[in-house]
Chains A and B, each alone.
Chain A
């Protein structure tokens, strides 16, 4: 799953869905979740799935990515298949469509809503510490993925990856991981210093468009 690409689509998109207020989309998503969880037949989830696909197409979201991401929970459906006895086609269709349409709704939401916008809404309803933790998790993912990409590139360029020699490659990947760990520690120390210098006190502000 390429988080950078998902993040990029959510920020760079200019469709009606991207422009819709994040608060409205969160309400819509919550309503979809409630409806889907209370659905007792396969028909309603099927209608929601079709509606979600139509929304994705009209918002010019990359359909292949949307569908691929939505199919991730299929693994859980397979486990479910093996664990339930007396399964009918109707129950299987209801459960599968409920899960897939729920995932579709979440995927479409994250592909059309930038994290700062999500965070601005969450900041109004969730406690500070939770929003701050969520924000730093998000920010750290990008800092760390960049750091790991650099280390992996260096490893690759310097002959540290040779998949015909798996033991050798694994040992070099282990070294890279150790180096990455040191990088994480140093980066987190620098971030903590910057937070101190910039007067951080467990609150992330989002100005948005309020003062324009």
Chain B
């Protein structure tokens, strides 16, 4: 599992959150431990508590039981100490965009944290260009499309150059080309900065773009499985969690059931190359 010698960025143990209106969400099962530089996905069916888990990490919820530690502090009581080191993209970006214009919104958090206006402006322009949304800079947030809002929210999180990036369904509502563009950008960013990333997603086709490993939550909020994304898809039956593996995994599993020895991969191009090699060797 995780290398304990690495610096732990996030640690959650047996948390339970009771809502004032009744009902509670527990995140039991496996300990949730994220070390520096990891890219982790939290997967699970609707209502399993993925967003609640992220809200605990962001200090927006105080657990009734259990412990939460983020960047060495309890985020619910000491969030002020770590907030400039955390970038967050929430599921509903409508209320996340606050600045009068896109540029102002991207610059919002760094200016709140006392960073200089000229430096923030330069960084905001840079991040807008890197995310290919520079042309939106003078637009008003309420006139943006859903996908554009999500990209602006991501820019607003990334401008902080955070140690930890928390993203709740970051690519939801974004068209295919932009999704590819953003996931490539996040991969490049991770390679450059080793930022720790935690994301939730329903879309199994993009999990491997967003994360190297993942936790699977069951319907009652328990963290049931942990592993690399390949291990999750190839060694476990995720259908029982209402999760359908990507097409490449389904194809490989069908071929394996029919006795074809084909090595697991999540990459469609790699899979087609392996199939072509097999075909050629059969012909010969």
Contacts and interface: CB of A to CB of B under 8 A. Distances in A.
Interface string A135-149: 100010011001000
Nearest to B112: A199
A198 B60 contact: no
B150 to A, nearest CB: 14
B178 to A, nearest CB: 22
Given A143-B95, A207-B103, A116 B140 contact: yes
Interface string B71-99: 00000000100011010101010111011
Interface residues of A, number: 32
Contacts of B100: 115-116, 119-120, 135, 204, 206
Nearest to B58: A197
A69 B274 CA distance: 69
B111 interface: yes
Contacts of B42: none
A192 to B, nearest CB: 9
Nearest to A115: B100
B207 to A, nearest CB: 25
Max count, chain B CB within 10 A of own CB: residue among A8, A116, A120: A116
Interface string A100-126: 000000000000001110011000000
A194 interface: yes
Interface in B94-116: 94-96, 98-101, 103-104, 107-109, 111-113
18 contacts: A120-B100, A135-B100, A146-B142, A187-B95, A194-B90, A196-B79, A197-B60, A197-B86, A198-B156, A199-B113, A200-B98, A200-B112, A204-B98, A205-B99, A205-B104, A206-B101, A207-B121, A210-B117
Given A196-B60, A198-B156, 16 more contacts: A7-B140, A11-B143, A139-B98, A143-B95, A193-B55, A194-B90, A194-B95, A197-B60, A197-B86, A198-B108, A199-B109, A199-B112, A200-B98, A205-B112, A206-B101, A211-B122
Interface of A: 7-8, 11, 114-116, 119-120, 135, 139, 142-143, 146, 187, 190-191, 193-201, 203-207, 210-211
